[in-house]
Amino acid sequence: MASAGGSGTQVRKSDEEWRAILSPEQFRILRKKGTEYPNSGEYNKTYNDGVYNCAGCEAPLYKSTTKFDSGCGWPAFFEGIPGAINETRDADGRRVEITCAACGGHLGHVFKGEGFPTPTDARHCVNSVSLKFTPANMA
Ligand SMILES: [Zn+2]
């Protein structure tokens, strides 16, 4: 149900419309649930101050203050910006997919209870390709 003035902007585009604004790699990952090669991502090891936005619709997804080094080869965050990310269990029940709440773009998977020394003990394992970083001094 829509509520006036809410921040839950919904972005709906066809595959053709997404293809027009995304790179082939962004389209493969965001819209077709692909995965980038581990340790290949632009944001794997960056810890600058700022916000990570959705590469598809630019919705803010993660703050740099929640990013940590998980050693897994992809950017890792211990929590998303509240309401920005949807969690859906995969059909095989093993993993939980995370998607942008605004456009449905595939981000990666979330793993919980692994013992990381973070406030949530959750690891949002996110493809760099799904993100666009905005430095704090540019926001
Ligand atoms: Zn999005």
| CA 26/CA 118 separation, integer angstroms | 29
* pLDDT tens digits, one per residue of 80-100: 999 999 999 988 889 999 999
pLDDT tens sequence across 12-57: 999 999 999 999 999 999 999 999 999 999 999 889 999 999 999 9
Domain spans, the chain: 15-138
The answer to whether 86 and 106 have CB atoms below 8 angstroms apart is: no
100 is catalytic: no
Q: What's the gap in Å between 109 CA and the centre of ligand 1?
A: 15
- What does the block give as tokens for 42? 């632009």
- Residue 119 Cα to ligand 1 midpoint, Å, equals 25
In the structure, ligand 1 is a single-atom ion and the residues with CB under 5 Å from it are: 54, 56-57, 59, 100, 102-103, 105
* Single-letter residue type at 119: P
What's the CA-to-centroid distance between 131 and ligand 1, angstroms? Answer: 9
Find tokens 């965001």 and name the residue.
30
109 neighbors 95 (Cβ within 8 angstroms): yes
CA of 128 to the centre of ligand 1 (A): 13
The CATH architecture that domain 15-138 belongs to is Beta Complex (2.170)
